[in-house]
A and B are shown apart, each in its own frame.
Chain A
Amino acid sequence: MSARRAVALAALALAAVAWALVAVLLWRSSRVPSSLRLPKVRVADLFTAHQLARARAFERFGRIDWLLSELALLGVLAVYARRGIRFARESAAGRIGTGLLLGMLGLGIVWLVQLPFGLADVWWERRYGISHESYLEWALGGWLGLAGTFLFVSAALVIVMGLARVLDGRWWLVGGPVFVALAALFTFVQPYLLTDTHPLRDPSLLADARRYAREEGLAPVRIVVQEVHAETSAPNAEAVGLGPTRRVILWDTLLDGRFGPREVRVVVAHELGHLSRDHLWKGLAWFALFAIPGAWVIARATRARGGMAEPAAVPLALFVLVLLQFLALPLQAAISRHFEAEADWMALRTTRDPGAAKGVFRKFTTVALEQPDPPGWAYLFLADHPTIEQRIGMAEAWQRLHPAPR
Chain B
Amino acid sequence: MDEHPVRVTVTDDLLRNRWTVFFRLILAIPHFIWLGLWGVAAFFAAFVNWLVTLLSGTPPAPLFDFLAAYLRYATHVFAYVLLAANPYPGFTGEPGYPVDVELGRALPQNRWKTAFRVVLAAPALLLASVLVCGATYSFNAHATDHGGSITYYRTLGGVAATVAFLAWFAILARGRMPRGFRDLVAFCLRYGVQACAYLFVLTERYPDADPALPEAVEPSPPSPVRLVLEDDPRRSRLTVFFRFFLALPHLVWLVLWGIAAFFALIGMWFATVFSGRPPAGLHRFLSSYLRYGVHVYAFLFLIGGPFPGFNGRLGSYPVDLELPAPEPQGRWGVFFRLVLAVPAFAVTAALGGVLVVTALLSWFASLVTAREPVSLQRLAAFALRYTAQTDAFVYLLTARYPYSGPTTRVADEQLALAE
Of residues 80 through 133 on chain A, the ones whose CB sits less than 8 Å from some CB of chain B are: 87, 90-94, 97-98, 100-101, 104-105, 108-109, 112
Given contacts A92-B317, A97-B310, contact A87 B239 (CB under 8 A): yes
Is the C-beta of B175 less than 8 angstroms from some C-beta in chain A? no
Given contacts A87-B239, A90-B239, A151-B252, contact A104 B245 (CB under 8 A): yes
Contact B249 A91, beta carbon cutoff 8 Å: no
With a cutoff of 8 Å between Cβ atoms, the chain A residues found around residue B241 in the complex are 108, 112
Given contacts A147-B245, A151-B249, contact A93 B307 (CB under 8 A): yes
Complex partner residue of B238 from A93, A108, A146, A154, CB under 8 angstroms: A108
Contact B248 A92, beta carbon cutoff 8 Å: no
Contact B306 A105, beta carbon cutoff 8 Å: no
With a cutoff of 8 Å between Cβ atoms, the chain A residues found around residue B239 in the complex are 87, 90, 101, 105
- Closest chain B residue to A108, Cβ basis: B242
With a cutoff of 8 Å between Cβ atoms, the chain A residues found around residue B310 in the complex are 93-94, 97
With a cutoff of 8 Å between Cβ atoms, the chain A residues found around residue B305 in the complex are 90
- Closest chain A residue to B147, Cβ basis: A230
Is the C-beta of A381 less than 8 angstroms from some C-beta in chain B? no
Is the C-beta of B369 less than 8 angstroms from some C-beta in chain A? no
The answer for the CA separation of A29 and B249 in the assembled complex, in Å, is 41
Given contacts A87-B236, A90-B239, A104-B242, contact A154 B307 (CB under 8 A): no
The answer for the CA separation of A101 and B244 in the assembled complex, in Å, is 12
> Least Cβ distance of A292 to chain B in Å?
26
Is the C-beta of A150 less than 8 angstroms from some C-beta in chain B? yes
**Candidate in A92, A112, A147 with the most chain B CB atoms within 10 angstroms:** A92
- Closest chain A residue to B239, Cβ basis: A90
Contact A101 B246, beta carbon cutoff 8 Å: yes
Q: Could you give, for residues 124-167 of chain B, a 1 whenever the CB lies within 8 Å of some chain A CB and a 0 otherwise? A: 00000000000000000000100000000000000000000000
Contact B252 A91, beta carbon cutoff 8 Å: no
The answer for the CA separation of A155 and B249 in the assembled complex, in Å, is 8
Interface of A is mostly: helix
Contact B249 A92, beta carbon cutoff 8 Å: no
Complex partner residue of A154 from B236, B248, B317, CB under 8 angstroms: B248
The answer for the CA separation of A93 and B306 in the assembled complex, in Å, is 8
Of residues 297 through 316 on chain B, the ones whose CB sits less than 8 Å from some CB of chain A are: 305-310, 316
- Closest chain A residue to B306, Cβ basis: A92
With a cutoff of 8 Å between Cβ atoms, the chain B residues found around residue A91 in the complex are 306-307
Given contacts A146-B245, A150-B245, A150-B246, contact A92 B238 (CB under 8 A): no
The answer for the CA separation of A92 and B298 in the assembled complex, in Å, is 13
Of residues 277 through 336 on chain A, the ones whose CB sits less than 8 Å from some CB of chain B are: none
With a cutoff of 8 Å between Cβ atoms, the chain B residues found around residue A109 in the complex are 238
> Least Cβ distance of A137 to chain B in Å?
11
> Least Cβ distance of A225 to chain B in Å?
13
> Least Cβ distance of B344 to chain A in Å?
29
- Closest chain B residue to A102, Cβ basis: B307
The answer for the CA separation of A98 and B238 in the assembled complex, in Å, is 15
With a cutoff of 8 Å between Cβ atoms, the chain B residues found around residue A101 in the complex are 239, 246, 307
With a cutoff of 8 Å between Cβ atoms, the chain B residues found around residue A155 in the complex are 249
Contact A94 B238, beta carbon cutoff 8 Å: no
Q: Could you give, for residues 395-414 of chain B, a 1 whenever the CB lies within 8 Å of some chain A CB and a 0 otherwise? A: 00000000000000000000
- Closest chain B residue to A149, Cβ basis: B245
> Least Cβ distance of A221 to chain B in Å?
25
Contact A98 B307, beta carbon cutoff 8 Å: yes
- Closest chain B residue to A86, Cβ basis: B236
The answer for the CA separation of A105 and B239 in the assembled complex, in Å, is 7
Complex partner residue of A90 from B249, B306, B309, CB under 8 angstroms: B306
With a cutoff of 8 Å between Cβ atoms, the chain A residues found around residue B144 in the complex are 196, 227
With a cutoff of 8 Å between Cβ atoms, the chain A residues found around residue B276 in the complex are none
- Closest chain A residue to B242, Cβ basis: A108
> Least Cβ distance of B37 to chain A in Å?
42
Q: Could you give, for residues 230-247 of chain B, a 1 whenever the CB lies within 8 Å of some chain A CB and a 0 otherwise? A: 000000101101101110
With a cutoff of 8 Å between Cβ atoms, the chain B residues found around residue A105 in the complex are 238-239, 242, 246
The answer for the CA separation of A92 and B305 in the assembled complex, in Å, is 9
Contact A93 B308, beta carbon cutoff 8 Å: yes
Complex partner residue of B249 from A94, A100, A112, CB under 8 angstroms: A100
The answer for the CA separation of A227 and B239 in the assembled complex, in Å, is 36
> Least Cβ distance of A384 to chain B in Å?
29
> Least Cβ distance of B370 to chain A in Å?
12
Is the C-beta of B318 less than 8 angstroms from some C-beta in chain A? yes
> Least Cβ distance of A120 to chain B in Å?
21
- Closest chain B residue to A98, Cβ basis: B307
Contact A93 B309, beta carbon cutoff 8 Å: yes
> Least Cβ distance of A368 to chain B in Å?
24
Complex partner residue of B318 from A87, A92, A112, A196, CB under 8 angstroms: A92
The answer for the CA separation of A227 and B144 in the assembled complex, in Å, is 10
Of residues 210 through 246 on chain A, the ones whose CB sits less than 8 Å from some CB of chain B are: 227
Contact A92 B242, beta carbon cutoff 8 Å: no
> Least Cβ distance of B240 to chain A in Å?
10
The answer for the CA separation of A151 and B251 in the assembled complex, in Å, is 10
The answer for the CA separation of A161 and B252 in the assembled complex, in Å, is 18
Complex partner residue of A150 from B236, B248, B307, B308, CB under 8 angstroms: B248
Contact A108 B245, beta carbon cutoff 8 Å: yes
Complex partner residue of A94 from B252, B295, B309, CB under 8 angstroms: B309
The answer for the CA separation of A248 and B245 in the assembled complex, in Å, is 32
> Least Cβ distance of B149 to chain A in Å?
12
With a cutoff of 8 Å between Cβ atoms, the chain B residues found around residue A196 in the complex are 144
- Closest chain A residue to B295, Cβ basis: A92
Contact B246 A92, beta carbon cutoff 8 Å: no
> Least Cβ distance of B148 to chain A in Å?
13
With a cutoff of 8 Å between Cβ atoms, the chain A residues found around residue B316 in the complex are 92
With a cutoff of 8 Å between Cβ atoms, the chain B residues found around residue A90 in the complex are 236, 239, 305-307
> Least Cβ distance of A123 to chain B in Å?
23
> Least Cβ distance of A370 to chain B in Å?
29
- Closest chain A residue to B252, Cβ basis: A151
The answer for the CA separation of A330 and B144 in the assembled complex, in Å, is 41
Contact B308 A92, beta carbon cutoff 8 Å: yes
The answer for the CA separation of A146 and B305 in the assembled complex, in Å, is 22
- Closest chain B residue to A148, Cβ basis: B248
The answer for the CA separation of A154 and B306 in the assembled complex, in Å, is 17
Of residues 236 through 276 on chain B, the ones whose CB sits less than 8 Å from some CB of chain A are: 236, 238-239, 241-242, 244-246, 248-249, 252
- Closest chain A residue to B316, Cβ basis: A92
The answer for the CA separation of A97 and B249 in the assembled complex, in Å, is 10
The answer for the CA separation of A92 and B248 in the assembled complex, in Å, is 16
> Lowest 8 CB-CB distances: which A-B pairs, in order?
A92-B306, A154-B249, A93-B309, A108-B242, A91-B307, A101-B307, A150-B245, A90-B236
Question: What are 10 sample pairs from A and B whose C-beta atoms fall under 8 A apart?
Answer: A90-B306, A91-B307, A92-B308, A92-B317, A93-B306, A104-B246, A108-B245, A112-B241, A146-B245, A147-B244
Known pairs A150-B246, A154-B248 / 6 extra A-B pairs, C-beta < 8 Å: A87-B236, A90-B236, A92-B309, A147-B244, A150-B249, A155-B249
